[in-house]
Amino acid sequence: MSSSPTVPTSTTPSSSSSRSTPEPADQVDQVDRVALVACGALAQPAAAVVARRGWPVDVHPLPPLLHNHPERIADEVRTLAQRLAPSYARVVIGYADCGTYGALDEVCRDLGLARLPGLHCYDVYAGASRLERFFDEQPGTYLLTDFLAKSFARTVLQELGLDRYPELRDTYFGHYTRMVWLAQDPDDELRGLAAQAAASIGLPLTVVETGDHGLEHALAALLPG
């Protein structure tokens, strides 16, 4: 999940499932339900939206660390979607393009599936035009979500080796000038974690409260009825 147009790869945290769902092989047929194959970084907030709206949707997350290897996302989505399809009325994809450069769209065309709009989940939360303004104002903008704030130390610092080789910080982040936190559900704990994340890579923090309305609207557009 790239934080800036200048960096094509991404560092997105690993996470457990957004809700407990059985493996497809163990499921009874869910003929009236929808399977949402979701990026692990979106799975928990997506499940919260689903529960709030009472939608007949089961969330099936893939590992968020796939965003560190976006070339693998399309194949992983294809595999899981095909496993789930016989057991559900419909399968939808809870990913934006996410650095696949059209490969995920090819999967969606092949299988007749719909996905979330945009280039990445930041578009879903904040809107593409709003993000474009951020980058126009300051091209070296690094984007943060609640999910990233919670596990920045694990998936960014540790995955990049900065916990062991802090001298590499400028190699990775020297071209960034600020961190913008797209805050979905900010509280004191999250604010502290976001501030730590920004400080750990030497950037000032700007907080932009987005809520999850963009995600809710995008999910509603994926679902029948």
pLDDT at residue 30 in the model: 66
- Residue 61 CA to residue 100 CA, distance in Å, equals 17
The 10 Å CB-count burial string (b at 16+, else e) for 87-112 is: bbebbbbbbbbbbbeebbeebbeeee
* pLDDT < 70 regions, the chain: 1-31, 224-225
The answer to whether 126 and 210 have CB atoms below 8 angstroms apart is yes
**Dihedral angle of Cα 203, 129, 78, 26, to the nearest 10 degrees:** 80
pTM of the model: 0.83
Q: What are the start-end ranges of the H helices in the chain?
A: 40-53, 73-84, 103-111, 121-126, 128-137, 146-152, 169-173, 188-200, 213-222
Predicted confidence (pLDDT) per residue in 36-81, tens digit: 999 999 999 999 999 999 999 999 999 988 888 999 999 999 999 9
Q: Which CATH class is domain 24-121+213-222?
A: alpha beta
Q: For residue 114, give both structure tokens.
A: 């719909």
pLDDT at residue 67 in the model: 84
- Residue 115 CA to residue 218 CA, distance in Å, equals 9
Sign of the C-alpha dihedral computed for residues 167, 154, 52 and 90 taken in this order? positive
Choose among 128, 14, 10: nearest CA to 64: 14
- Residue 84's alpha-carbon distances to 96, 111, 205, in angstroms, are 20, 12, 41
Q: For residue 143, give both structure tokens.
A: 């984007």
Domain ranges of the chain: 24-121+213-222, 126-209
Residues 6+ apart with CB under 8 A from 221: 117
What are residue 209's phi and psi, to 5 degrees?
-80, 115
Q: What is the mean pLDDT of the chain?
A: 87
- Residue 22 CA to residue 14 CA, distance in Å, equals 19
Q: What is the DSSP string of 63-123?
A: PGGGGGSGGGHHHHHHHHHHHHGGGEEEEEEE---TT-TTHHHHHHHHHT--B-SSSSHHH
